[in-house]
Structure formats: C-alpha cells, structure tokens
Structure 1
C-alpha cells in the first residue's frame, strides 16, 4: 500500500528540532508577509488595504502553509517536500497576482479566469495521482502545459503578452515535476524496474 509513511525513501522525518525550526520558519514567514502591507501602508499611500484584503491574504497564507504542513507530515522525503513547496508557492503567487493586478490586463479581466483552469488541472491531476510522487510529476507537467496554453490563447486573442511571466510559472511547475520524479526514484526499492 502506498500511503502515509510508505512514501518514504526518507532522509528525515520532520520531527524533532529540525522539523520544529522549519515549522517556525514557515509560519513566521507567513506572519511577516501578512504584516508587510500594514507596515507599507504607514509609509506610502500606494498600498491601501482594507480588512477584506488582509482576511483574504491571511486565508491564502493559512491554506498554503497548512497544505505544506500536511505534505510534510506524510513523508520525510526531502525531494517530495521540496516539490510540494515549489508547487504551492507557484499556485499561491499565481492566485495572488491574478487577484492583485491580473495577469491578463487588470484583475477584473474575465480572461484571467483561464489561470483558474491551470490550477484545476494541477489539482485534478494530484487527486487522480493520489498524491503519489510519480503521478504528481505527471500532474505538474500537465499544469505547466496548461499554463503555456493559457498564455498562447491570451496572445492569439490579443489580450496581452504575459510570455515572460508564463515562462516563470512553467519553470516553477516543471521544477516541481522534476522534484516529484526524484522523490519517486528515491521511493523505489533497490533493484526495482524504473
């Protein structure tokens, strides 16, 4: 059965002092990110967040950090954890950029909803893979492809040119896929067929 601790091939289990330091760093960074706009508002009028903005950003940070914690608890495999971290960071940035300024035009441009489809591809792939590393590698490669397709559609439709930004996201999705492949190789018992 492939579940829970069976995803091992582990190098560390995340418990003890190292795990505790990583947890503090993760949640501490999230808290600092949440405080940053409040501090910026003291120095510039360019940043004008209301309670709803802070609540949304806080909920997004909580969801991303909580999801990463779940992934870290199911395996001590460093490559799997790194892959999950890269994928979650990419998803977080994609959502935040779309909400804050929009990737295609402004944040109110309905064409930006295509990027919700990109995330749906990744999420559906992860669910179908049951979060196993080899399937996750395929899911993230599919997510990279969906990201590229969304950019091509936007370019052909004349909605703007987000090729550089798309390249960044495709690189993040593919990096995550490669790390999941590494995790799958580490999980495989010695002498098993590739």
Structure 2
C-alpha cells in the first residue's frame, strides 16, 4: 500500500471515528424526545462529551502513531475498553450501584492502560503488554469484589461483576492481541 493510500485510509478512519462520537453525543438528546426513560441534564451531556473528546483524541493520536491495521484495531479496541469501563461505572456501576465507593478500584485499570501507553511510547509491543496487564487488573478487581462480597446489595449481584469483568477483560485481551500482531509485523 502506498503512503498516500495509507494516509487517505487513516484520514477516513479518523473522520468516521469523530462522526461516530458526534452521533453518540446526539443519541441521548434524540432519545429524550421520545421517552421519559432517558433524562439527561447539561452535566450529563458535558461529562459524556468530555469522555468522547478524550477517547476520540486518544484514538486519533494512536492511529497517527501506528502503522498498520492490527495497530489501529488494537487502538480502537483499547480506547473503547477504557471508554466502556468508565461509562458503565459512571452510569450504573459495576460493583453495586454507581454510588458504591468500591467502583473507584477500576481507576487502577485505566491508570495502567494510560500509564502503560505513555511509558511504552505507544509502541505495539509495549501496548500489548499494557493491555494484557489491564486485563489482569480487571480480573483481580472483579475477583476481589466477589471474594469480599462487595456489591452484595445489588439485585443482580454477582452477575453484574462477573459479566462486566468478562466483557471488559475480553476487550483488553483483544486489544493486547491486536497489538501483539502489530509488533510482529514491525508496526
């Protein structure tokens, strides 16, 4: 693939990602017009907008740094995993409700992901290790929450912890795998 073609694909990918972010931000506004189940205020839109801006910015930066598709796929999955973990935690919580202070433990997973990306200079091999470590931390926090009975008051305990742990851990591992492929390809 020529450099010009590669740049064009990258530009299109970034445009699609930013367009998707705008669509996601508009989705609750549209839903509020049709149902009372969605009740967002200005603060909700502000927080969600900031989350989309940070996730979009991280994805944009990573796609500019990486070369091939495995790297870009790893970046997309990794950024989505972090975004999803924060979003679920703020919206409904993983350990009990969103108000349960034990949910702050998941900040460690985000710290590992962001810190590892910085320390590794976002190189594919380092990103693979970073996201594998994030998966280990995700599982450890879920296991700790279950062992200590954190969130027992939730009506869906322990399914909430087990389900979220499986979903987000799978995302971290998928990102780690894509970055491992990128590292083998020399990206």
Fold-level similarity (TM above 0.5) = yes
Quote the offset at 1:12 in angstroms.
7.8
The 5 A counterparts of 1:140-179 are 140-160=131-151, 161=158, 162-179=161-178
Quote the offset at 1:129 in angstroms.
1.6
1:75 to 66, 80, 99: 66
Question: What's 1:25 paired with?
Answer: 16
Shifted more, 20-29 versus 48-57: the winner is: 20-29
Please give the TM-score of this superposition, normalised by the length of structure 1: 0.86
In structure 1, C-alpha distance between the alignment counterparts of 2:86 and 2:59, rounded to whole Å: 16
Please give the TM-score of this superposition, normalised by the length of structure 2: 0.89
Question: What's 1:4 paired with?
Answer: none
Aligned residues of 1:90 and 1:172 also touching (Cα < 8 A)? yes
Superposed CA deviations along residues 130-175 of structure 1, whole A, max 9, x for unmatched, are 2111111111110000000000111011124211220111111011
Change (3 A) 1:100 1:14: farther
In structure 1, C-alpha distance between the alignment counterparts of 2:30 and 2:75, rounded to whole Å: 30
Point out where structure 2 has 5 or more consecutive residues left out of the alignment. 152-157
Aligned residues: 179
Question: What's 2:92 paired with?
Answer: 101
Question: What's 2:50 paired with?
Answer: 59
CA RMSD of aligned residues (A): 1.9
Aligned residues of 1:10 and 1:77 also touching (Cα < 8 A)? no
Superposed CA deviations along residues 82-125 of structure 1, whole A, max 9, x for unmatched, are 10110000000100110011111111110000111111122222
In structure 1, C-alpha distance between the alignment counterparts of 2:41 and 2:126, rounded to whole Å: 41
Quote the offset at 1:75 in angstroms.
2.5
Quote the offset at 1:76 in angstroms.
2.5
Change (3 A) 1:30 1:105: same
Point out where structure 1 has 5 or more consecutive residues left out of the alignment. 1-8, 189-194
In structure 1, C-alpha distance between the alignment counterparts of 2:22 and 2:108, rounded to whole Å: 29
The 5 A counterparts of 1:10-49 are 14-16=6-8, 18-49=9-40
Change (3 A) 1:152 1:10: farther
Change (3 A) 1:177 1:50: same
